[in-house]
Amino acid sequence: MPHAKLTIDMPEHTWIGDISASHPELLFQVVTSIPGENMGIGLVRLTAATPLPIITDIQARDDVESLELLWKHDDEALLQIQTENPLPLLPVWRAGVPLKMPFDIQDGVATWEVTTSNSRLSSLRTHLDDVGIDFDIEFVREIDASQADRLLTERQQEVLVAAVEAGYYRAPRDSTLSDVADVLDVANATCSDVLHRAEGHIIHWFVKEHMEV
């Protein structure tokens, strides 16, 4: 099961592609969307030094059927937009690929992450080509769901995440083993044992999957 990251060139004749390319500093974050063949609805967070002129430009677009300002605060605004030209998301809809939300669009380029079957990923590429949308595949990684599920126990995941968040694995370290143990309210020896087992599982998995030994 592949997990892929793609960068997508937004078509300039769409409202989001044109406005994004015209304002490179502007950040759109698509929180959620409902694409269709002739209509699309999206919840979009906009971040700009002065959002109101951007919102006015969006409202003036011929391909924007409606725009609702849900909230605005300083340099951010949340918009619900209905467009008559959902071209950027048509390939996703036609390929039946679940797109990870939210995703960002800046300077006319969107960053997508998808986890799907090989056949649907191939179909997405085909549909992107069919509508003339340029894209680059940053990476494709195979995910073995059964192996991922059994790699670490819930307790090992909990302790490992606490260690990462505490900066235990940074160089130089931002915290000691005692600091991590204190966060989890466990003894140092217990924390060390769980981390050692988790690290061992991850290292063995990595060597097996990515190195020839």
Please tell me the predicted confidence (pLDDT) of residue 202: 85
**All structural domains of the chain with their residue ranges:** 2-143, 146-210
Task: Yes or no: say if 129 and 94 are a contact pair by the CB < 8 Å rule.
Answer: no
How far is 94 from 88, CA to CA, in rounded Å?
A: 11
Per-residue pLDDT of 3-26, as tens digits, reads 899 999 999 899 999 999 999 999
- For 134-180, the pLDDT digits (tens) are 999 988 877 665 555 567 888 898 999 999 999 999 988 899 999 99
Mean pLDDT of 27-51: 91
Amino acid in position 62: D
Does the pTM exceed 0.75?
A: no
| pLDDT one-digit tens code per residue, 53-84 | 999 999 999 999 999 999 999 999 999 999 98
Residue 126 has pLDDT above 80, yes or no: yes
Residue showing tokens 């061992």: 200
CA distances from 35 to 53, 166, 179, 208 (A): 26, 40, 47, 41
What's the mean per-residue pLDDT of the chain? 90
